[in-house]
Amino acid sequence: MLEGLKGFIDLFADPQLFFATTVVALVLIVWKREAFSSTRWGWGLMIFLTVFFAFGLTDSDFNLIITKPDNVPIVGLIFLLVFFTWFSMRQAVDNDRRAAGGQPPIEKDEEDRVWTWPDLVYTELISMVVCTVVLIVWSIGLEAPIEQPANNANTPNPSKAPWYFLGLQEMLVYFDPGLAGVVLPSLIIVGLMAIPYIDKNPKGNGYYTFNERRVEITIFLFGFVVLWSSLIVLGTFLRGPNWNFFGPFEYWDIHKLEALTNVDLSEYVWVRGFGMALPDHWFVREIFGILLTIGYVAVLPVLLARKGLTKYYEKLGPTRYYVTVILFLSMLSLPVKMLTRWAFNLKYVVAIPEFFFNI
Amino acid sequence: MADTKTIEPKAPALVRAWDWITETQIWTSIFRHAAPINDRNRVLVMLSNVFLHMHPVRLRKSGVRLRYTWCMGGISFFLFLVLTFTGLLLMFYYRPTLEYAYSDIVGLREHVPLGIMREMHRWGAHAMVITVWLHMFRVFMTGSYKPPREFNWNIGVIMLVLTLLLSFTGYLLPWDQLAIWAITVGSNMARATPFLGHEGPGASLMALGDVQLVHAADDARFALLGGTFVGEGALLRFYVLHCVALPLVIGFLMAIHFWRVRKDGGISGPL
């Protein structure tokens, strides 16, 4: 019975189902936010997580992963992230209800001023004391990890980046290092910095709301919670030796084999489609992938401006519209690449090893 | 009729002592006004105290509610201060060389009194990464990046990157297997930097005739590590970045960040 449950969870944690689950969860959170933001759901989620991790501690394999000192903060992150997602939605829903009843947001009612001394400085003082106590207790209770002395000749398996970069390391499964390690992270930074300039919606400034900023909040939650955070969780807890997938209750067997032959698009088209050898010149060989990529980043935004996103094109103007859509499509390139990998074992759309250019 | 003499009841000794202390020239030279128990002094304390003067005198009620701010920005700043302090203590014991780095870290646990400084530094650093994310999450959910705070959001994004870099550079310093391999994995990405990494797209185009300008011993990764692998050069570079360069930059940006919070209208709220 217990083993069956663990087996079921292992099965369910597989990257495809894991990712699908987080996407479905986000859709439900946004769609059923009225129900989601109830006190019952808040408690329910916290209790569920607590029970899940408490149950996990009883399993020797799971225990090994979550009690690894550097992984403890990520367990904390999971609780905090779930809580604050729930909490921010709750306040947004509260304010939206007020708005529906013709009332201003709750923050408007709290607009009158209070004295910084004592109201703010005491809050700050208490926060500092609480933080210090938490940090000291945490530091006494959990030793910082120190492993064997550095040895360039002995590569641990798996070799993992620091936990906050594991989302990026997970992207390496789907993208070339140039994209996963350099281009896409740079685009994340640029995209974050662009947010205030491409978001022209004047509403929802300085208070929680969902109805007045549906698209912005949904995209942000998708990027932050689903892509960034859940991939960190996946990379930390569910990736073992050789970056193979392991369920939380699974033994990290170094000999686990995952027979996977990933195929480039060029091979799909020329070898399997036309039944001929790959052309010698890289440009001819990759022409379909190149066209597809240009279509995705250059033609698709134009088409969407005419049909589908015309409303946004008119509202934002050409510059803001193109910046927004291209950034958004870059973000979506990860799930798109994931899906094509899972569905067709597609390795690269464009593969030009001649000069390290792979997409 | 004899004069009646009213005898004032004597204040308790502690109160008298306190009164005496607060009337000395030393005390009044430090604190220019009485305790902030009335409105006038509540104003004065904010204006005359260097540590408090980053606050406004009064602020929106919603701005002191944990429900609204989650306190995450303040906690991030506090953790930065804790990290600066504990980091400074660690610097007394730690030497960034291949010979000593690892044994100094082991020694910190084995024979330094109050041996939780490394723990506080490490857990504080992990916590700061999380609180910075949650702070940005809160700022997004309240739309506080919207005009007039666009620029301050940008400063914040740069500080997010610096927080991650601070954590990343510090990760190498214990010089154990965990450290060098995490940094190896992380810095291997730089190999694939377009044009500037020797395995990056377009690197082969960076050539003068037959001479390759970008190769393993001069590309972006080499600049980061001061070598072709994570070795002595990388340790020194990361140490200097971690202890001097990055904290200076992030401290500078923090000053701008807090200043701009005030100048852009204080803590955000409905217009």
Tens of pLDDT, residues A124-135: 999 999 999 999
ipTM of the complex: 0.95
Residue pair A127/B74 in contact (Cβ under 8 Å)? The answer is yes
**Is B71 an 8 Å CB contact of chain A?**
yes
What mean pLDDT value characterizes chain A? 92
- Largest Cα separation within chain A, whole Å, is 79
Residue pair A107/B270 in contact (Cβ under 8 Å)? The answer is yes
The span from the CA of A16 to the CA of B217, in Å, is 40
Q: How far is B10 from chain A (nearest CA, A)?
A: 30
The span from the CA of A110 to the CA of B267, in Å, is 13
Residue pair A237/A65 in contact (Cβ under 8 Å)? The answer is yes
Domain boundaries, chain A: 2-108+163-171+207-243, 265-358
**Count of domains in chain B?**
1
Residue in A closest to B125 by C-alpha:
A73
Domain assignment present for residue B117? The answer is yes
| Residue A320: CB atoms within 10 Å | 17
Residue in B closest to A168 by C-alpha:
B186
Check residue B2 and give its pLDDT: 62
Residue linked to tokens 């799971």: A62
Q: Which of B226, B166, B235, B200 lies closest to A181 in space, CA to CA?
A: B200
Domain assignment present for residue B188? The answer is yes
What is the pTM assigned to this prediction?
A: 0.94
Q: Which of A130, A97, A213, A106 lies closest to B60 in space, CA to CA?
A: A106
CATH number at residue B239: 1.20.810.10
In chain B, which residues have their Cβ closer than 8 Å to the Cβ of A353?
none
For range A227-231, the mean pLDDT: 93
| Nearest beta carbon to residue A208 from set B133, B141, B188 | B141
The span from the CA of A166 to the CA of B28, in Å, is 55
Residue in A closest to B194 by C-alpha:
A178
The span from the CA of B158 to the CA of B167, in Å, is 14
**Is B44 an 8 Å CB contact of chain A?**
no
Check residue B21 and give its pLDDT: 93
More confident residue, A89 or A157: A89
The span from the CA of B47 to the CA of B57, in Å, is 8
Cβ B178–A127 below 8 Å, yes or no?
no
For range A154-170, the mean pLDDT: 91
The DSSP output letter for A279 is: P
Residue pair A175/A349 in contact (Cβ under 8 Å)? The answer is no
pLDDT category of residue A359 using cuts at 50, 70 and 90: confident
Residue in A closest to B124 by C-alpha:
A135
Check residue B68 and give its pLDDT: 94
Residue in A closest to B181 by C-alpha:
A159
Check residue A10 and give its pLDDT: 86
**Exposed/middle/buried for B107, CB within 10 Å: 0-12, 13-18, 19+?**
middle
271 residues of chain B, pLDDT tens digit each: 567 777 778 889 999 999 999 999 999 999 888 888 899 999 999 999 888 999 999 999 998 999 999 999 999 999 999 999 999 999 999 999 999 999 999 998 888 777 889 999 999 999 999 999 999 999 999 999 999 999 999 999 999 999 999 999 999 999 999 999 999 988 888 888 888 888 888 888 888 888 888 888 888 899 999 888 999 999 999 999 999 999 999 999 999 999 999 999 889 988 7
Residue pair A88/B43 in contact (Cβ under 8 Å)? The answer is no
Q: How far is B235 from chain A (nearest CA, A)?
A: 11
The span from the CA of A52 to the CA of A74, in Å, is 15
Write down how long chain B is.
Answer: 271
Residue linked to tokens 């039944």: A275
Cβ A107–B176 below 8 Å, yes or no?
no
With residue A46 as reference, give the H or E element that holds it.
Answer: helix A39-57
The DSSP output letter for A70 is: G
Range from A174-183, A253-262, A283-292, B256-265 carrying the lowest mean pLDDT = A253-262
With residue A351 as reference, give the H or E element that holds it.
Answer: strand A351-352
Question: Residue A139 above 70 pLDDT?
Answer: yes
CB burial string A67-104: b at 16+ within 10 A, e below: eebbbbbbbebbebbbbbbbbbbbbbbebbebbeeeee
Q: Token digits for B97?
A: 């060389």
Cβ B270–A117 below 8 Å, yes or no?
no
pLDDT category of residue A262 using cuts at 50, 70 and 90: confident
The span from the CA of B263 to the CA of B148, in Å, is 10
Domain assignment present for residue B236? The answer is yes
The span from the CA of A209 to the CA of A216, in Å, is 11
With residue A113 as reference, give the H or E element that holds it.
Answer: strand A113-115
More confident residue, A333 or A358: A333
**Exposed/middle/buried for B227, CB within 10 Å: 0-12, 13-18, 19+?**
middle
| Residue B78: CB atoms within 10 Å | 20
Q: How far is B23 from chain A (nearest CA, A)?
A: 23
The span from the CA of A232 to the CA of A71, in Å, is 11
The span from the CA of B250 to the CA of A28, in Å, is 39
Cβ A150–B167 below 8 Å, yes or no?
no
pLDDT category of residue A84 using cuts at 50, 70 and 90: very high
Give me the phi and psi of A261, to 5 degrees please: -110, 110
The span from the CA of B182 to the CA of A113, in Å, is 49
Residues A11-52 have pLDDT tens digits of 888 888 999 999 999 999 999 999 999 999 999 999 999 999
The span from the CA of B217 to the CA of B63, in Å, is 52
Residue in B closest to A172 by C-alpha:
B189
The DSSP output letter for A207 is: S
pLDDT cut 70: percent of chain A above it: 100
Residues A278-287: contacts with CB under 8 Å, at least 24 apart = A282/A352, A282/A354, A286/A350, A286/A351, A286/A352
Domain assignment present for residue B271? The answer is no
Question: Residue A283 above 70 pLDDT?
Answer: yes
**What angle, 0 to 180 degrees and rounded to 10, lies between the N-to-C axes of helices B72-93 and A121-141?**
50
In chain A, which residues have their Cβ closer than 8 Å to the Cβ of B61?
110-114
Cβ B74–A193 below 8 Å, yes or no?
no
Write down how long chain A is.
Answer: 359
Three-state SS for chain B is CCCCCCCCCCCCHHHHHHHHHHHCHHHHHHCCCCCCCCHHHHHHHHHHCCCCCCCCCEEEHHHHCHHHHCCHHHHHHHHHHHHHHHHHHHHHHCCCCCCCHHHHHHHHHHHCCCCCHHHHHHHHHHHHHHHHHHHHHHHHHCCCCCCCCHHHHHHHHHHHHHHHHHHHHHHHCCCEHHHHHHHHHHHHHHHHCCCCCCCCCCHHHCEECCEECCCCCCCHHHHHHCCCCCCHHHHHHHHHHHHHHHHHHHHHHHHHHHHHHHHCCCCCCCC
Cβ A118–B231 below 8 Å, yes or no?
no
Query: Mutation test of the interface with chain B: which of A107, A155, A169, choosing the one with the most B Cβ atoms within 10 A?
Result: A107
Cβ A116–B168 below 8 Å, yes or no?
no
The DSSP output letter for A153 is: T
More confident residue, A301 or A3: A301
**Exposed/middle/buried for A197, CB within 10 Å: 0-12, 13-18, 19+?**
middle
Domain region containing B149 = 67-263
Check residue A6 and give its pLDDT: 87
Range from A1-5, A180-184, A286-290, B255-259 carrying the lowest mean pLDDT = A1-5
- Omega cis (within 30) before B36: no
Cβ A135–B145 below 8 Å, yes or no?
no
The span from the CA of B252 to the CA of B96, in Å, is 25
Cβ B62–A111 below 8 Å, yes or no?
yes
Q: Token digits for A202?
A: 């004047």
Q: Which amino acid is at A327?
A: L
Most confidently modeled range among A273-277, A341-345, B239-243 = B239-243
| Nearest beta carbon to residue B175 from set A91, A149, A178 | A149
Q: Tell me how many degrees the CA angle A48-B79-A71 measures, rounded to the nearest 5.
A: 40
Domain assignment present for residue B60? The answer is no
Residue pair A305/A313 in contact (Cβ under 8 Å)? The answer is yes
The span from the CA of B168 to the CA of B125, in Å, is 10
Query: Mutation test of the interface with chain A: which of B105, B139, B142, B184, choosing the one with the most A Cβ atoms within 10 A?
Result: B142
The span from the CA of A81 to the CA of B251, in Å, is 27
